[in-house]
C-alpha cells in the first residue's frame, strides 16, 4: 500500500508517493497558477496526482490515502482562506472529495503537516508529545500528540507564530503587536539587522549585501555572526532570547518531549542550538526538572510531503 502527500505552496505544488516506511518513492510537481483561480488550481492538482500514479504504473486502488498541506488554516467546515493563494472561504475539502471520490483525503495546515512528518520519520521520531516551530518568512507551528496532528477544538490551534511574547517596534501582519513571528522569523532577523544598520552601526552584513539594505537575507546575518559582527551578534542574540522565551512558555503549557526547529532559518542549527537550553532553563517554572529536548528538523522540505501522506 502507498500513500500520497501533496504540499501546496504559493508558487508550486509538490506531490510524492510515499511507502509505509516514510520514503518518497516518486515525485512530481506543478506550478500554482494562483491567477487562474481556486477551481483551476484544484484541477491542476487533480491532474498532477493522477499523472503521478499513472506514470509509475500504479492505480488509485494502490493508494491508501491522499493528504494535503495548505499554507493556511482549514476551519471545521473545511473552508480555507489563504491570502497568498487568493482563496477566500473556498470549500477546499469538498473540492478534494469531488475530485478524489474513491480514496480517503485529508488536509491540514502546512506547518502542522511538516511537524507530523518530523514526528513520524524525522527529528521528533518516537516522541509522544512533539512540537515543531517552522521559522521561515513567517513562523508556523505544529503540535503532534501520540502520532496525531493536534489542532484543537475548532481546528485553529497550534498557531504558535502568533503567540504574543513581547512588545515589538513593528506590527505583525495579523494586526497584533508582539507576535513570535515578528521576533523569530527570517523576516524579523532581516528587519532588525536593517534597523541597526540604518541607525548607523557598522556591519559586515552591508558588505555581504553589496551595500544595499534590501539585499540582506537571514543567511548573511548568520554568516556575519560567525565573524563576531556587532549587528549580527545583537540581532541573533535577540532572536534567540525571544525563541527561548516562546519555548519556555510552550514547556510551561504543554511540557513536550521534544521541540524541533525547522524552516529556512534552521539551516543555522549550530548557532540556534548553542546555549538555547540554558536560555530556556532560566525562564521555565520548574528549573531543576528535565525538559524537552531541543533539536533541529532533519527532513527539510520533504517533511511537507511525508507528513501530508500520513495524515489520517
Q: With respect to Zn ion, which residue has the nearer C-beta, 6 or 179? A: 179
Give me the least distance between CB of 181 and Zn ion, in Å please: 5
Q: With respect to Zn ion, which residue has the nearer C-beta, 177 or 283? A: 177
Q: With respect to Zn ion, which residue has the nearer C-beta, 164 or 301? A: 164
Gap between the Cα atoms of 285 and 281, Å rounded:
8
Give me the least distance between CB of 52 and Zn ion, in Å please: 36
Residues that bind Zn ion (CB under 5 A): 162, 172, 174, 176, 179
Q: With respect to Zn ion, which residue has the nearer C-beta, 172 or 294? A: 172
3-state DSSP assignment of residue 98:
helix
Give me the least distance between CB of 163 and Zn ion, in Å please: 9
202 CA to centre of own chain: 33
Per residue, what are the HEC states of 222-250? Answer: HHHHCCCCHHHHHHHHHHHHHHHHHHHHH
- 218-225 and 230-254 helices, crossing angle to 10°: 110
Q: With respect to Zn ion, which residue has the nearer C-beta, 179 or 205? A: 179
How far apart, in Å, are the Cα atoms of 99 and each of 18, 39, 42, 92, 282? 20, 11, 8, 11, 52
Gap between the Cα atoms of 117 and 7, Å rounded:
12
3-state DSSP assignment of residue 145:
strand
Give me the least distance between CB of 86 and Zn ion, in Å please: 21
Q: With respect to Zn ion, which residue has the nearer C-beta, 112 or 203? A: 112
Sign of the torsion formed by the C-alpha atoms of 54, 31, 14 and 88 = negative
Give me the least distance between CB of 176 and Zn ion, in Å please: 5
200 CA to centre of own chain: 34
Residue (of 98, 128, 135, 90) closest to 297 by Cα position: 135
Q: With respect to Zn ion, which residue has the nearer C-beta, 172 or 259? A: 172
How far apart, in Å, are the Cα atoms of 259 and each of 114, 241, 248? 13, 16, 11
Give me the least distance between CB of 212 and Zn ion, in Å please: 28
Give me the least distance between CB of 21 and Zn ion, in Å please: 37
Amino acid at each position: 500500500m502507498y500513500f500520497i502527500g501533496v504540499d501546496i505552496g504559493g508558487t508550486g505544488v509538490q506531490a510524492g508517493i510515499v511507502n509505509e516506511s516514510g520514503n518518497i518513492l516518486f515525485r512530481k510537481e506543478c506550478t500554482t497558477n494562483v491567477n487562474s483561480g481556486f477551481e483551476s488550481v484544484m484541477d491542476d492538482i487533480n491532474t498532477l496526482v493522477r499523472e503521478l500514479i499513472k506514470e509509475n504504473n500504479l492505480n488509485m486502488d494502490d493508494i491508501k490515502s491522499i493528504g494535503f498541506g495548505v499554507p493556511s488554516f482549514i476551519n471545521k467546515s473545511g473552508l480555507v482562506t489563504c491570502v497568498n493563494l487568493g482563496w477566500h472561504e473556498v470549500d477546499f475539502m469538498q473540492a478534494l472529495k469531488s475530485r478524489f471520490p474513491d480514496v480517503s483525503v485529508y488536509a491540514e495546515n502546512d506547518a502542522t503537516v511538516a511537524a507530523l512528518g518530523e514526528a513520524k520519520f524525522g527529528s521528533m521520531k518516537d516522541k509522544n508529545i512533539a512540537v515543531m516551530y517552522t521559522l521561515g518568512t513567517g513562523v508556523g507551528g505544529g503540535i503532534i500528540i501520540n502520532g496525531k496532528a493536534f489542532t484543537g477544538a475548532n481546528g485553529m490551534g497550534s498557531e504558535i507564530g502568533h503567540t504574543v511574547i513581547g512588545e515589538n517596534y513593528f506590527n505583525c501582519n495579523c494586526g497584533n503587536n508582539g507576535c513570535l513571528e515578528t521576533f523569530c522569523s527570517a523576516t524579523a532577523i532581516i528587519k532588525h539587522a536593517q534597523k541597526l544598520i540604518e541607525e548607523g552601526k557598522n556591519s559586515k552584513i552591508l558588505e555581504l549585501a553589496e551595500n544595499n539594505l534590501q539585499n540582506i537575507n537571514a543567511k548573511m546575518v548568520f554568516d556575519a555572526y560567525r565573524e563576531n559582527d556587532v549587528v549580527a551578534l545583537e540581532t541573533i542574540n535577540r532572536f534567540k532570547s525571544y525563541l527561548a522565551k516562546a519555548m519556555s512558555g510552550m514547556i510551561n503549557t504543554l511540557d513536550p518531549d521534544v521541540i524541533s526547529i525547522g524552516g529556512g532559518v534552521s539551516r543555522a542549527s549550530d548557532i540556534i542550538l548553542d546555549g538555547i537550553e540554558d536560555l530556556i532553563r532560566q525562564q521555565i517554572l520548574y528549573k531543576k526538572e528535565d525538559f524537552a529536548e531541543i533539536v533541529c528538523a532533519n527532513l527539510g522540505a520533504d517533511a511537507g510531503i511525508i507528513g501530508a501522506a500520513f495524515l489520517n
